[in-house]
Amino acid sequence: MHLSRRDLLLAGAGTALAATPLLAAAPATAAPAGTTTPGGSAAADGSGPATGPGATAGRLPADALDAGLGAITDAGMVGVFAEARDGRDRWRGASGIADLDTGRPMRPGFQHRVGSITKTFVAATLLRLAGEGRVALDAPLGRYLPECAVPGVTVEMLLNHTSGIGDYDTVLFTSGYDVERLRFTTFTPDQLVRIGLGEPRTGAPGAGFAYSNTNYILAGLVVERVTGRGAADEVHRRVIRPLGLHQTYFPGRRTRIAGPHSEAYLPWYDGQLRDFSVANMSWAWTAGALVSTAADLNRFFRALLGGRLLRPAELARMRTTVPLDPAQPEAAGYGLGLLWLALPGGRFWGHDGAVFGHATISLHAPDGSRQVTLGTNVTHYQVPGQPDPIGAATGAFLVTALSGAVTARSAGATRTPTPATPLPAPLPAPLPAPLPATPAPGSPALTRPLPR
C-alpha cells in the first residue's frame, strides 16, 4: 500500500486507540506481573494464571520486567504478553485485556499470529535444503520457477530482500476497508506472485534492501518445486516438528486460531476497536501466516542461533547481512530471514512481525542465550509524526529484557525497579522513537505497519 500501508486507517481513525472508551476503562493490571522460573516450565496453552510475586530468579530482572509490561498497557496498549530467558532461567508475564467485550485478561501462553517471523522459518527450511545440495542460493530464480524468472534475481536475493521485486500487499490493502472486504477471501500463491511481479521494481537486483512480501511467497514456491510437498508441510517437517514446537502451525484456510488467544484489534473509522482475530490468512502464506507462542519462538531462535537447526556454513550464510539503511550500516542489518539490531548490550538477532491486530517482536543474543519475545493485540494505532508512548515503553521493556541485570531491592521498598542498562533516547537509527508501530512512509524501521 506504500503510503496507505504505512498510514493505514489514519483517516478518522488514527487517534481511536487513545479515545476508545472501552480501552480507557480497561485496567492495565488485569493480568499483572509475571512468574520467574529457574530452569522451569509452564503450560503452553495460556490457561494458567500469569500472576506471581515477581521474585527474581537467576539473572533476569523480574521486578523491572513486571513493571515494563505494565508501562506498555499504562501507555495505552490493550494487552501485551512476553517471555524472557537467560540460559535456563525464564520469566513470563502479561498485562492488560485480551477481549474488551468480556474483560478476559491477557495470558503469557497465548497463541498469536506472528506475521513476518514466518520468514525466518521459511528461510531456515530453504537453508536446510541448500545444505543438502537441493537448492543453490546463488542460482537464478528461473532455475526453479521459470514461469516467475526475473533477470538477475537469485534465490538468496529473495531471502534478504534485495531482489527489487515489488510488494503484492500494497495492491491488496489500500485502506482499512480493503482489510474488512478481503478478510475471508482465499488467495493462491500464484495470484499473490502475479500481483507482486506486476508492480514496479524497487531497484536493480542486488542493489540494496527493499522489503517485499512477494519475495517470501516465491521462496515458498521454490520449497514446493524442489521438494514436491506443500511449503507449510515442509516447514513443519524440517523445523517445527524436530524442535517440538507444539503450538506453532500454519492455519491454512482456517479462519480461527486453534488455541487460547487474544482478540486482534484495529482502530476503526467509528472510533472503536474492531477485532480481526478471525480471518483468512492465505494472503500472507509463507510471508506471514504462522501462528505461534512466545515460548515456541524463543525455543526456535535458541535452536537456530545455537547451531542446532542449521550446519555452520548455512547459519553463517543466514547471518550475512545487508544494511537496512545504507547511510547507517552500524544500526541494523538483514540477512536471510534474520535481522540484527544494535541495542544497549550489543547486537541482538531475530525478527518482528505484524498482521492486522497482532504484532510480535522476538530478539536474541547472538548465541540465543538471552532472549525476549513480546506480543501485542492492537496495530495501526500511531499517527506518524506524533509521540508514541506505547512504542517508547515497548523499547524500554525490550532493552531491560535483553540487557538489564538483577538489582538489589531492600525489604519493604516501593517496587520501582530500574534496568541496569538505561534505554537511550532515542534508540539507534533506523528506529525513530523506540520501536514505532507505524514509521513514517518509506522509513526502514524494524516494526512495520501491516500487512507483513
Decide if 292 is catalytic.
Answer: no
308: CB partners within 8 A, 6+ apart: none
Active site residue: 4, 41, 47, 116, which one?
116
Asked if 374 contacts 360 with a C-beta cutoff of 8 angstroms, the reply is: yes
**Alpha-carbon separation of residue 390 from 103, 218, 395 (angstroms):** 21, 34, 9
The catalytic site residues sit at 116
